[in-house]
Amino acid sequence: MISGTRYRLDQEINRQLALSREIAKAQTQLSTQKRIQSPSEDPVAAARISSIGRSQANEAAWKSNLQLAAALGDRADTALKAAATAFDRATELMTQGATGTLSGQDRATIALELRSLADELNSLKASKDSRGNALFMSGFSLRIPVQSGVQVIAVGTREEVFESVATAGGPKDLAAILADAATALEITDPTARRTAVATAVDEVAAAVQHVAGQRGEQGALANRVDQLLERQADAGLQLAEERSGLEDTDIQAVIARLSSQQLSLQAAQAVFARVNESTLFDILR
């Protein structure tokens, strides 16, 4: 009889201890908002959460690289916009300079402004990025990894953007075109000046087309980066949603279960105390 009673007591105590552990687990799930506290609770889900975590770390690195590519592209576009503005002004100046009614002083003033614009082009060619590196690299473009096995080019090379204007005399530098135009206006012999100025007008027009083409190419590069950023954001959202479904606590469900467990434990403890008030003395006798 005593042995049977003790067995029932042990059984009830163990049941209440198990219920207490479930209550503690639910409270932890609420405080941490994580459904799984250790991999042993759900090995399959824990393994998938770990895999998603690694994917999210990779996605964060890819996103950082894409944001760098976007920033470099924005700087390059700003530089090309400034170059386009410079050549719009150069076109106006050459239209004025090509007229035969200007005085030597007028031509000298125009030549001075053209050389100022040439200096601006050289400054744009030497632009730096936010890290202090050359924005327009010489010889090759910076390739930025943005996905496994995928790289993007954010900015064209210095040679492509500034030094390869197609002219009748061969490829030419943007700044050199403006400097040569200034020199043409300063020629004192009228016949030689007209010939040189006509060549300079053609080269300035070629430069305008070249810069417009480079802006278009830069825009295409930027669009590529924007598309990859959108895809990366979608992939990141999908990973986050999947992880949340596996890992996050269902607050309402846990609260409901916790309330039920607490009531069950309180009731069990109260019944246990009443039933065993006399039984404990019986066991001792």
* Tens-digit pLDDT profile for residues 13-28: 666 565 556 665 655 6
Backbone angles phi, psi at 142, to 5 degrees: -65, 125
CATH class of 63-246: mainly alpha
Q: How confident is the model at residue 47 (pLDDT cuts 50, 70, 90)?
A: confident
Return the pLDDT at 33: 60
Non-local (6+) Cβ contacts of 245 within 8 A are none
**What mean pLDDT is reported for the chain?**
83
Q: What does 33-58 look like in DSSP terms, one character per residue? A: -BS-SSGGG-HHHHHHHHHHHHHHHH
Return the pLDDT at 2: 47
CA dihedral 33, 37, 40, 44 (to 10 degrees): 30
Cα–Cα dist 260/253, whole Å: 11
pLDDT at 8 over 80: no
Mean pLDDT of all residues in 107-112: 96
Return the pLDDT at 14: 66
Which position has the higher pLDDT, 283 or 138?
A: 138
Which position has the higher pLDDT, 90 or 277?
A: 90
Return the pLDDT at 6: 59
Indicate the domain borders of the chain. Answer: 2-33+250-284, 63-246
**Long-range interactions of 210-217: CB distance < 8 A, separation 24+:** 210/164, 210/165, 210/166, 210/174, 211/80, 211/83, 211/84, 211/87, 211/174, 212/84, 214/80, 214/156, 214/160, 214/161, 215/77, 215/80, 215/81, 215/84, 217/156
Cα–Cα dist 173/164, whole Å: 6
In Å, how far are 46, 183, 243 from 51, measured between CA atoms?
9, 66, 10
